[in-house]
Amino acid sequence: MNTVKITKWGNSQGIRIPADILRKAELEMNDLVYIEVNKPGNITLSKKSLPKKGTIEYLFKDYSGEEFTTELVDLGDSKGEEKW
């Protein structure tokens, strides 16, 4: 078990996680993690899984605009011989 010290980091506090611990946990620089307080004095970090590369979810993983919605648009009656 490793011991680390909570230190001041700007207006917050932080800890440095040793490289060997990150390797064992399969965590890398800039990974997102969930932090959960289990009980006073006990926290758990869990890696947030990202969508698979090449998927639409991956392309929009960082999108923070309004939620996408769809709606039907009535284009009116046909003007020629198109079939809908």
Q: What is the CATH number of the domain that holds 43?
A: 2.10.260.10
Residue 35 lies in a domain: yes
What integer pLDDT is reported at residue 24 of this predicted model? 93
- Give the pLDDT confidence of 28-53 residue by residue, as tens digits: 888 889 999 999 999 999 998 777 77
Q: Span 1-14, mean pLDDT?
A: 92
Does the structure show a pLDDT above 80 at 69?
no
Residue 32 lies in a domain: yes
d(CA 4, CA 63): 35
Residue 12 lies in a domain: yes
Q: List the one residue out of 17, 41, 15, 45 whose CA is nearest residue 29.
A: 17
What integer pLDDT is reported at residue 39 of this predicted model? 94
What integer pLDDT is reported at residue 84 of this predicted model? 62
Number of domains in the chain: 1
Residue 22 lies in a domain: yes
Is the pTM higher than 0.85? The answer reads no
Average model confidence (pLDDT) across the chain:
86
Q: Which domain holds residue 31?
A: 7-49
